[in-house]
Structure 1
Amino acid sequence: MVERLRHEICRLADIHGNALALEAVLRDMEGLGLSEAVNLGDVFSGPLEAGRTAQMLMGRGFPSIRGNHDRYLIEHDPAEMGPSDRVAYDQLEAAHLEWIAGLPPTRLVFGDVFMCHGTPQSDSVYWLEKVEGDGRVRPATLAEIEAEAEGGSAGLILCAHTHIPRCLRLSDGRVVVNPGSIGCPAYDDGAPVYHVMQTGTPNASYAVVEKREGAYDVTFRSVPYAAQEASALAARNGRADWARSLATGWFGA
């Protein structure tokens, strides 16, 4: 795709198999009169509805990239997968895994929009947030963010992975946007040390971006959906942690 960004495009990320949340976001887009989107990865992994998520998303032809959990689904032996990846893997068909395998880790679209999942160099490294040695999560400094952005020329850079919606401007005028997570509002992770990421809302998050007179207009959308139903499904699949996070937006609530 080589055309410039001239109209509103939705930024979707970190669906994590939450078909109920994706359904609500697609309805919200329709209500806004929007039908085009890009997908920043981590589409399926989670104790929810990976198969139904695939049915809803893959046929739409949204420009997509592969996230770290998408990569795990095609690189790891199922017997060695984490519980979220394994639940998703068992629901997916060969065609879904082939689709993942065909996705690039990064992508340039609309002539001036760069897509990555974590950073331009890694799908598993946080970019706009940093984890301290004691597990505290803080916003990355401008210098830390710009160090990862060196060598790029796209005016709009899209990232995901942390599930925290953010928009910031670099010193040279480039804009970086993380649309947040559609399907997983809070989680814990053991790398680089144990920490928790949480948004504090069960709503599905995505962003709408439009280029106007050379500047990017970014609107974050926080969409209510049947989060209690998703929470109950996670609980039935043996994931009490996911159930709490989906119901509240807080990991330990």
Structure 2
Amino acid sequence: MRLAVIADVHGNCAALQAVLEDIAMLGIREIVNLGDCFSGPLEADRTADLMILLDAAGTMTVRGNHDRHLLETAPHAMGASDAHAHGQLAPRHLQWLRSLPFSAIYRDEVYLCHATPQADDVYWLEQISADGQVCLNSVEEIERRAAGIEQALILCAHTHIPRAVQLADGRLIVNPGSVGCPAYEDDAPCFRKVETGHAMASHAVLEKSEKGWVPQFRNVAYDHMAMSRLAQKNGRADWASALATGRI
């Protein structure tokens, strides 16, 4: 069994298309999506149309925190990225978002969530220090959040950092990284920057072998400068820098 994992597209339709071409080139037919599909200063509408087609083809998607914000927050109270996306989305796109579950189990073997099993906006595999450094979380905290999950493969996203962590009992937790947003900054609970240092789209391939699940992290080149220019045109210099360089 081989499975492609995408996450954190953030309205970057060009990156999504490139990743889907890479997945098809590998001959993989099964895809799961870990959420945060549209939020950003890019092409939420085009991305949504493509996501709905993927859904019809069997892709399982769970809801991310920004997907939730698009449904639960009044437009005038949204952050800039959510507001831009909301302004592009049609009622059918929002209805599709409403259909997404918080978490899911794929083929009885794989657990899916956006961030953690308890919350859609909390880092799982990483922790944030008081001075804003993002580093690997403690094994105790990672294991605590995984309590009660029976599946051998656990998939999460949210941080945009590709990572695999193996638990003491052999279960594997994998974050595939971000398809559409290679760097960002945030100020809650404290200011931090998360930067991949490259402008490529990220995803992961998981293969089940006799020895268990094995991840392959993949980076895909695409016309990232076109998306950087679009972000700049839409007044987002931070996104323009992230998309051009993987840094802010």
- What is the TM-score when the length of structure 2 is the normalising length? 0.97
* Offset of residue 133 of structure 1: 1.5
* Offset of residue 158 of structure 1: 0.2
Worse-matched range after superposition: 34-43 or 174-183: 34-43
How big is each residue's C-alpha offset from its partner over 1:63-115, in whole Å with a ceiling of 9 and x where there is no partner? 01000000000000000000000110011000110111111111111112000
Q: Confirm or deny: 8 A CA contact 2:125 2:165 kept in the other structure.
A: no
Tell me the equivalent position of 2:26: 32
* 1:47 maps to 2:53: no
Other structure's SS at 2:81 match: helix
Other structure's SS at 2:242 match: helix
Tell me the equivalent position of 1:132: 129
- What is the TM-score when the length of structure 1 is the normalising length? 0.95
Tell me the equivalent position of 2:177: 180
For structure 1, list consecutive stretches of 5 or more residues without a partner in the other structure: 1-6
* Whole-Å separation in 2 of the counterparts to 1:158 and 1:201: 23
Q: From 153, 163, 166, give the equivalent of 1:166.
A: 163
Q: Confirm or deny: 8 A CA contact 2:49 2:93 kept in the other structure.
A: no
* Whole-Å separation in 2 of the counterparts to 1:152 and 1:60: 27
Tell me the equivalent position of 1:223: 220
Tell me the equivalent position of 1:3: none
Q: Structure 1 vs Structure 2: percent identity of aligned residues?
A: 51
Q: CA RMSD in A?
A: 0.8
Q: Which 4+ stretches in 1 moved above 2 angstroms?
A: none
Other structure's SS at 2:37 match: coil
Worse-matched range after superposition: 13-22 or 103-112: 103-112
* Whole-Å separation in 2 of the counterparts to 1:113 and 1:250: 32
* Whole-Å separation in 2 of the counterparts to 1:68 and 1:242: 19
* Offset of residue 32 of structure 1: 1.0
Other structure's SS at 2:84 match: helix
Amino acid at match of 2:45: G
* Offset of residue 35 of structure 1: 2.4
How big is each residue's C-alpha offset from its partner over 1:107-129, in whole Å with a ceiling of 9 and x where there is no partner? 11111200011111000000111
* 1:94 maps to 2:88: no
Matches within 5 A, 1:1-253: 7-61=1-55, 62-251=59-248
* Offset of residue 214 of structure 1: 4.8
* Whole-Å separation in 1 of the counterparts to 2:37 and 2:222: 18
Instruction: Tell me the matched-pair count.
Output: 245
* Whole-Å separation in 2 of the counterparts to 1:113 and 1:125: 20
